A = this chain, B = another copy of it.
Amino acid sequence: MTPSLRPIGIFDSGLGGLTVFNAVRRLLPRENLIYFGDTAHVPYGSKSAAAVTAYSLEIARFLRGKKIKLLIVACNTASALALDELRKNLDIPVIGVLEPGVRRAMAVSKTRRIGVIGTEATIKSGAYTRKIREIEPSAKVYGLACPLFVPLVEEGWWKHRVTRLVASEYLNRLRPAKIDTLILGCTHYPVIKETIARAAGAKVELIDSAETVAQEARELLNARGLARKTGKVKIKVYVSDDPARFALRAANLPAGRLGSVALKRFS
């Protein structure tokens, strides 16, 4: 198969990566896409680095078997913990969600005081702090785990007062840090972006990695002559557990039509 005709593979622990999937679909409307949601292991945010790396490699091998030309790790936890291993083990380009988000934050921030919210595992890994300090060693980085955001998004309480209350409880902890830029370090969070923005305060700029990841994917494909420009588009979605539940939940997210969801269980 001509390399440019091959699909792009996108994976996440579950639903959150659909925000990235959606952005990629909008920016690269002619690309064939395969989405993988690891619903047997969701959430990654409370799992160990060893476990998340093993799951990520298994999914990457499966997608590689489907002849993908590019792998997008649409999960911040997997990007924080498994990106190096994935790059070591794959012969195609791999894009994570951390680096594009960090670059965008550094372009936007004036005070160099940057907040990062994400899952426990992402924040604990310190991956964001390292990436930001690589670009600017003097930057101040304030990481905060927000473990209830993912369940609230999954529950569909996107504008619920409980979500507002949880958001202000979490974001208040960042007040003393006086950040001017806040990275949404979890692909679930863009779904409740408005609530988070209000809790963070009007002076704080929010960085949604989904958009920047899709831009990075477009640039990479164009630079390598791998972009698909015409033709009918095929979308394929796999999950590792309970396709019906995934389809039902996904229908409530701004991800467009997914078609049927297939089951791929790993033993």
List chain A positions with a Cβ less than 8 A from chain B.
39-42, 46-48, 50-51, 147-148, 150-152, 154-155, 157, 161-162, 165-166, 169, 241-242, 245, 265
Q: How far is the CB of A82 from chain B (nearest CB, A)?
A: 14
With A148-B155, A151-B151 known to touch, is A47 a contact of B241 (CB < 8 Å)? yes
Q: How far is the CB of A52 from chain B (nearest CB, A)?
A: 9
- In the bound complex, how far is the Cα of B170 from the Cα of A157, in angstroms? 12
**B residues near A161, Cβ cutoff 8 Å:** 165
A-B contacts, 18 listed (Cβ < 8 Å): A41-B41, A47-B241, A47-B242, A48-B242, A51-B241, A51-B242, A51-B265, A147-B154, A148-B148, A148-B155, A148-B157, A150-B151, A151-B151, A161-B165, A162-B162, A162-B165, A162-B166, A165-B165
**B residues near A242, Cβ cutoff 8 Å:** 46-48, 51
Residue contact B162 to A46, C-beta cutoff 8 Å? no
Q: How far is the CB of A53 from chain B (nearest CB, A)?
A: 12
**B residues near A166, Cβ cutoff 8 Å:** 162
Residue contact A155 to B162, C-beta cutoff 8 Å? no
With A241-B48, A242-B47 known to touch, is A155 a contact of B147 (CB < 8 Å)? yes
> Shortest 5 CB-CB distances between A and B: which pairs?
A48-B242, A151-B151, A51-B241, A48-B241, A162-B165
Q: How far is the CB of A249 from chain B (nearest CB, A)?
A: 9
